[in-house]
Amino acid sequence: MRLAGLFSGGKDSAYAIYRAMQLHEIASLITIKSKNPESYMFHTPNTGITQLQAEAAGLPLIVAETEGKKEAELADLKEAVKKAVELFRIEGVVTGAIGSVYQAARIQKICDELGLWCFNPLWQLDQLQLLDDLLKNKFEVIIVGVAAYPFDESWLGKRLDRKAVKELAGLKEKYKINPAGEGGEFESFVLSAPFFRKKINVKKSSARFSGNHGVFEIKEAELE
Amino acid sequence: MILVVSTCADKLSEEEFVKPIVGIAGKCDVKHYTNVKDVSGYDKIIICGTALKDNEYLKNINGFLFLKETISPVLGICSGMQILCLLYGARITENKEIGMTKIKTLRENPLFSGNFEAYSLHGNGVDNLNEFYVLAESEESVQAVKHKKKNLCGIMFHPEVRNEKIIRNFLDFA
């Protein structure tokens, strides 16, 4: 089956796409760039760089912009999926939804309206298991946004390696955070994945942090 | 031993509809329904749901005749409930519910009680349920049934999402 992967540039969507690739063809990626950093549906930091990730993966990318208003952003997503049907003859969509019934139900409805299959291969997956799977499969991931205590600026740009995963497991025990950031505690960016032909090299970046919120912005990056 | 049965036409859907059940059930055998021959050695059987777009199981209802022979308790989830109901005289209707749904318990049972919210993802419903007690309903449809004479239960919503305890109750008390 030909599928489109909803791709934020972060670890969950990338890993879901990788899982789907084991059984189906990923014909296209779709990125929704939300102007609203508090979007209910979409991951927001660094969505501008997904073009470089798509190039690294050798996959075509559809980018759609949305104002990020609660239900209007769904109409924008639906249009982008429709475009993937027209351009790449996709028969289904794959998402990185893990536990959000809000996100999952809305994407299910869009797929249903368009007569498409909807696959959520990470659905209900244990979050520490997910982090472990990423390491085992050699995903290279950095943290590009934090939005909850006790995450401080030291997390911005941090690589999600074995040591960081251990720290996240500790924070889960101590503060009951979602260790894979499913509750919006942090956002990630994939520098390299098993389906990338090249790696992303971040050449210039900046970090901003205030209160419990911080963003690691990739200003310049290249494929290597 | 517990048997977890996949009704998914596409293997990728099993990540979403079978794996979460296995995560709750623990040690169990997992088989696709087309590979189930003899179920006599299993203490409990769970028939999992499948993708909204997938109606393949309805075309292969004879592949589930093992459910008529077993004396072990069976829990059918979503497509699993539709299959149980079809095997015992019910009819499939069109009934789409996607997302969190209010569920009202109508009859006391060991799986759940009271009013609660559950995750729904189905395009079909059931009627003509003469051989079943209706255990629960939503505003739109029948949400849970139990066969009047056999230990067969069906749940239309997905208890593996936000209502895992229902599956544990089935494994512990049914």
pLDDT tens, position by position, for chain A (224 residues)?
999 999 999 999 999 999 999 999 999 999 998 877 666 565 556 777 899 999 999 999 999 988 877 778 889 999 999 999 999 999 999 999 999 999 999 999 999 999 999 999 999 999 999 999 999 999 999 999 999 999 999 999 999 999 999 999 999 999 999 999 988 899 999 999 999 999 999 999 999 999 889 999 999 999 99
Task: Please answer whether residues A67 and A38 qualify as being in contact, where contact means their C-beta atoms are separated by less than 8 angstroms.
Answer: no
Q: B122-137: b or e for each residue (b if 16 or more CB lie within 10 Å)?
A: bbbbbeebebbeebbb
The domain boundary residue, chosen from A61, A84, A119: A119
For residue B171, the distance in angstroms to the closest alpha carbon of chain A comes to: 20
Element (H, E) at A206: strand A200-210
Of residues A48, A92, A39, A88, the one with CA closest to residue A66: A39
Look at A105 and B100 and tell me if their CB atoms are within 8 Å: yes
Q: CA-based diameter of chain B, in Å?
A: 39
Domain span including residue B133: 2-173
- Please check whether residue A12 is in contact with residue A181, taking contact to mean a CB–CB distance below 8 angstroms: no
Phi and psi (nearest 5°) for B113?
A: -150, 165
Is the CB of residue A80 less than 8 Å from the CB of residue A41?
no
Q: Could A19 and B11 be called an inter-chain contact, meaning their C-beta atoms sit closer than 8 Å?
A: no
Structural domain total, chain A = 2
A200's tokens? 């992303």
A198, with CB counted inside 10 A (0-12, 13-18, 19+), is middle
Together in a domain, A152 and A212: yes
Cα separation, A5 vs B147, in Å, equals 41
**Residues of B with a known catalytic role:** 78, 158, 160
Q: Is the pLDDT of residue B35 over 60?
A: yes
In the predicted structure, residue B120 carries a pLDDT above the cut 60: yes
Q: Is B59 left (phi over 0), alpha (psi -120 to 50) or beta?
A: alpha
Q: What is the pLDDT of residues B93-114, one digit of tens each?
A: 999 999 999 999 999 999 999 9
Nearest to B98 among A109, A119, A122 (CB): A109
Judgement on whether residues A133 and A53 belong to the same structural domain of the protein: no
Q: Domain check: are A108 and A176 in the same one?
A: no
Same domain, A143 and A201: yes
Q: Return all residues near B74 (Cβ < 8 A) that are at least 6 apart.
A: B44, B45, B46, B47, B67, B84, B151, B152, B153
Strand partners, A32: A64
Any residues with CB less than 8 A from the CB of B103 and at least 6 apart, and which?
A: B112, B115, B116, B117, B118, B136, B137, B138, B143, B144, B157
Chain B residues whose CB is inside 8 A of the A108 CB are 52, 98-99, 121
Q: Where is the domain boundary, A119, A144, A161?
A: A119
Question: Is A84 within 8 Å of A111 (Cβ atoms)?
Answer: no
Write out chain A residues lying below 8 Å of B119, CB-based.
101, 105
Best probe of the B interface among A81, A124, A125, A127, by most B CBs < 10 A, is A124
CATH of the domain at A190: 3.90.1490.10
B41 reaches A (C-beta below 8 A)? no
Instruction: Note the pLDDT of residue A38.
Output: 63
In this predicted structure, the answer to whether residue B34 has a pLDDT above a threshold of 90 is yes
Question: Could you list the residue range(s) of the whole structural domain that residue A13 is in?
Answer: 2-119
Inter-chain CB pairs, A–B, below 8 Å: 66
A interface toward B at CB cutoff 8 Å? 1, 19-20, 23-24, 92, 94, 101, 105-106, 108-109, 111-112, 115-126
Same domain, yes or no, for A106 and A160? no
Q: Are residues A112 and A157 in the same domain?
A: no
Shared domain check, A104 and A22: yes
Other CB atoms within 10 Å distance of the CB of residue B53: 20
CATH number of the domain enclosing A102: 3.40.50.620
B20 touches chain A (CB under 8 A): yes
CA distance to partner chain B, nearest, from residue A90 (Å): 14
Domain count, chain B: 1
What is the residue-averaged pLDDT of chain B? Answer: 97
Are residue A11 and residue A104 in the same domain, yes or no? yes
User: What number is the average pLDDT over the span B51-67?
Assistant: 97
Count other Cβ atoms within 10 Å, centred on residue A201.
13
pLDDT at residue number A49 = 87
Query: pLDDT tens digit string along B129-162?
Result: 999 999 999 999 999 999 999 999 999 999 999 9
